[in-house]
């Protein structure tokens, strides 16, 4: 079994704690590795290294930083297969989804930012003022387990491009992706201290890092609950916050929409990655007059496209939940759905045997006030909700504390875009529009603050100074 150290100041180092925690393969329930359970002394060492590296990294200018980051990008491309293998093993995402989604997301998003950054104005002039944009200093990157490699990439690329240095605290369920990231940074020869990884629990490492006096920016992706706590934690020292939080997004099927396309897009977001996707389209809104036809399309789609099995197989679409705890959370939500009067069309149970598997599940006769329509389940659970008019559907779409993503499918593209503009979320897909790696990603309302990806993402990591000369 492998035992991994922290990566601090360009070195692999033991934790001051001398303690370790297990990493479990959720399909086999076997311990596949151990990582250090770091403590405050480890965080201090990482922040000190990142702080020491900051002035030179910040002042070297974008073209010099870009040369380093191009080498990191080359390493990411070189290690694509190992990244995919790691995601299959520690997260349980299917091999196909790991290879065709997780890894390309990282490669394409980093490529897009590096391609666009040369045209970005770090220096501008307004009247007699020189406007200089530069890094904040040390960025604490606290990441979740659901896209364990790309959530790091989405923070590290813009943070480093902007001139900051980083300390990454990965999720405890999936820390090996972060260790692999550090290996790439090491082989790419990033200057010492620019990129650091400290593993350990959120309550210890994450909490201390987020409140650290030498960390001016916290970039957090995770649950709204933890994000809210960090917001409070950051207030005494007025830290800048980037918060990428939860969601409860809709697929709105307009009257006369292509039902198969609407169902496929929504269902795939709750089947791939086992529905552990912040932007998953977990509420399918359909016209009352077309309800029965939708249910037939759903049954047919699930019968042919929801193969559950070992994530290691290319034939599998739905693997295990990331952890026993996550499996139990999903099953509790399914029980709440039943208790509040929703009907099960498909699934609804745990799958007996080894691994943390939950059946792909579809609830019908869901109303938007039910818990399963309001709270983020983060599992392979779809809720079908009827509406009478398009105005009512838009109200239902917006009747949630979240505002992350959404989708509209309709027979007329322009009409669908008009509806998309009324949905109060940071992203909306119209008629299965593709996602650009340079388009901003982030949420309205309790889904967060700030944007990731492309040059909008870089902006969030920049301080702005006006020099009147
Ligand atoms: P989480 O429980 O909030 O944890 C996220 C990270 O925060 C982990 O590294 C965790 O460490 C750490 N953490 C936990 N408690 C902390 C504390 N008190 N102080 C500082 N750090 C702490 O979220 P998750 O279960 O990993 O991820 C799922 C959530 O992420 C969902 O809500 C999903 O919607 C959201 N998400 C949002 C986006 C987006 O872009 N908007 C993208 C992906 C995921 P431990 O692992 O050690 O607990």
Residue-wise pLDDT for 398-413, tens only, equals 999 999 999 999 999 9
Tell me if 249 sits within 8 A of 285, measured CB to CB. Answer: no
Average pLDDT over residues 294-318: 98
- φ, ψ of residue 401 to 5 degrees: the values are -70, -15
Q: What is the pLDDT of residues 354-377, one digit of tens each?
A: 999 999 999 999 999 999 999 999
- φ, ψ of residue 151 to 5 degrees: the values are -65, -30
Residue 349 confidence (pLDDT) above 90: yes
> How many percent of the chain have pLDDT more than 90?
99
User: How many angstroms does the Cα of residue 220 sit away from the middle of ligand 1?
Assistant: 8
d(Cα 408, Cα 40) in Å, to the nearest integer?
47
Helix (H, G, I), strand (E, B) or coil at 27: coil
Average pLDDT, the chain: 98
Tell me if 360 sits within 8 A of 318, measured CB to CB. Answer: yes
Tell me if 248 sits within 8 A of 383, measured CB to CB. Answer: no
Residue 99 confidence (pLDDT) above 90: yes
d(Cα 233, Cα 341) in Å, to the nearest integer?
39
DSSP code string of 49-116: HHHHHHHHHHHT-HHHHHHHHHHHHHHHHHTHHHHHHHHHHHH---HHHIIIIIHHHHHHHHHHHHHH
Q: What is the pLDDT of residues 167-221, one digit of tens each?
A: 999 999 999 999 999 999 999 999 999 999 999 999 999 999 999 999 999 999 9
Which atom of ligand 1 is nearest to 170's Cα? 9
User: How many angstroms does the Cα of residue 172 sit away from the middle of ligand 1?
Assistant: 10
> Where in the sequence numbering do the catalytic residues fall?
244, 278
Binding-site residues, ligand 1, Cβ < 6 A: 142-147, 151, 169, 171-173, 201-203, 206-207, 210, 221-223, 226, 229-230, 244-247, 278, 376, 378, 404, 443, 447-448
pLDDT at 269: 98
Q: What is the pLDDT of residues 217-243, one digit of tens each?
A: 999 999 999 999 999 999 999 999 999
In this prediction, residue 166 has a pLDDT band, given cuts at 50, 70 and 90, of very high
Residue 330 confidence (pLDDT) above 90: yes
User: How many angstroms does the Cα of residue 459 sit away from the middle of ligand 1?
Assistant: 23
pLDDT at 1: 85
Residue 343 confidence (pLDDT) above 90: yes
197 backbone φψ class: left, alpha, beta (φ>0; ψ -120 to 50): beta
d(Cα 317, Cα 306) in Å, to the nearest integer?
6
Among candidate residues 87, 102, 72, 90, the one with its CA nearest the CA of residue 182: 72
pLDDT at 225: 95
User: How many angstroms does the Cα of residue 60 sit away from the middle of ligand 1?
Assistant: 33
Residue 157 confidence (pLDDT) above 90: yes
Query: Cβ-count burial of 352 within 10 angstroms (0-12 exposed, 13-18 middle, 19+ buried)?
Result: exposed
DSSP code string of 30-52: -EEEEEE---HHHHHHHHHHHHH
Average pLDDT over residues 104-132: 97
pLDDT at 62: 97
Residue 151 confidence (pLDDT) above 90: yes
Within 8 A by CB and 6+ apart from 38, the residues are 6, 15, 16, 17, 198, 199, 200, 204, 205
Pairing of strands 217-221, 240-244: parallel
> How many percent of the chain have pLDDT more than 70?
100
């Amino acid at each position: 079994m492998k035992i991994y150290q922290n990566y601090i100041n360009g070195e692999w180092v033991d934790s001051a704690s001398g303690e370790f925690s297990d990493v479990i393969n959720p399909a086999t329930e076997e311990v596949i590795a151990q990582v250090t359970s770091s403590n405050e002394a480890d965080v201090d060492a990482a922040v000190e290294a990142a702080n020491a590296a900051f002035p030179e990294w910040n002042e070297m200018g974008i073209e010099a930083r870009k040369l380093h980051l191009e080498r990191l990008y080359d390493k990411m491309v070189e290690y694509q297969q190992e990244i995919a293998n790691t995601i299959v093993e520690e997260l349980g995402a299917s091999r196909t989804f790991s290879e065709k989604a997780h890894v390309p997301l990282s490669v394409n998003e980093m490529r897009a930012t590096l391609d666009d950054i040369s045209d970005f104005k770090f220096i501008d002039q307004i009247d007699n003022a020189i406007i200089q944009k530069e890094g904040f200093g040390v960025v604490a990157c606290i990441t979740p387990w659901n896209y364990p490699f790309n959530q790091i990439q989405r923070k590290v690329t813009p943070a480093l491009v902007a001139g900051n240095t980083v300390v990454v605290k990965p999720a405890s369920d999936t820390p090996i992706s972060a260790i692999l990231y550090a290996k790439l940074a090491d082989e790419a020869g990033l200057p010492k201290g620019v990129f650091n990884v400290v593993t350990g629990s959120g309550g210890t490492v994450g909490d201390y890092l987020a409140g650290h006096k030498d960390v001016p920016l916290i970039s957090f992706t995770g649950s709204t609950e933890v994000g809210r706590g960090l917001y409070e934690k950051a207030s005494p020292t007025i830290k800048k916050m980037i918060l990428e939080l939860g969601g409860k997004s809709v697929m709105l099927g307009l009257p006369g929409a292509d039902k198969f396309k609407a169902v496929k897009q929504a269902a795939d977001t709750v089947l791939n990655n086992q529905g552990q996707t912040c932007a998953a389209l977990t509420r399918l809104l359909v016209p009352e007059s077309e309800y029965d036809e939708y249910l037939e399309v759903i049954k047919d789609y699930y019968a042919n496209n929801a193969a559950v099995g070992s994530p290691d197989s290319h034939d599998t679409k739905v693997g295990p939940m990331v952890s026993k705890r996550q499996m139990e959370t999903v099953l509790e939500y399914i029980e709440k759905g039943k208790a509040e009067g929703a009907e099960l069309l498909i699934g609804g149970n745990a799958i007996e045997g080894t691994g943390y598997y939950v059946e792909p599940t579809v609830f019908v006769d869901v109303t938007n006030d039910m818990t399963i329509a309001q709270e983020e389940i983060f599992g392979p659970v779809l809720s079908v909700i009827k509406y009478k008019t398009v105005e009512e559907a838009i109200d239902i779409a917006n009747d949630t504390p979240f505002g992350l993503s959404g989708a509209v499918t309709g027979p007329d593209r322009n009409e669908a875009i008009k509806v998309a503009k009324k949905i109060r979320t940071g992203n909306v897909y119209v008629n299965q529009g593709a996602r650009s790696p340079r388009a901003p990603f982030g949420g309205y309302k309790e889904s967060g603050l700030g944007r990731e990806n492309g040059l909008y993402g870089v902006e969030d990591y920049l301080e702005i100074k006006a020099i009147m000369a």
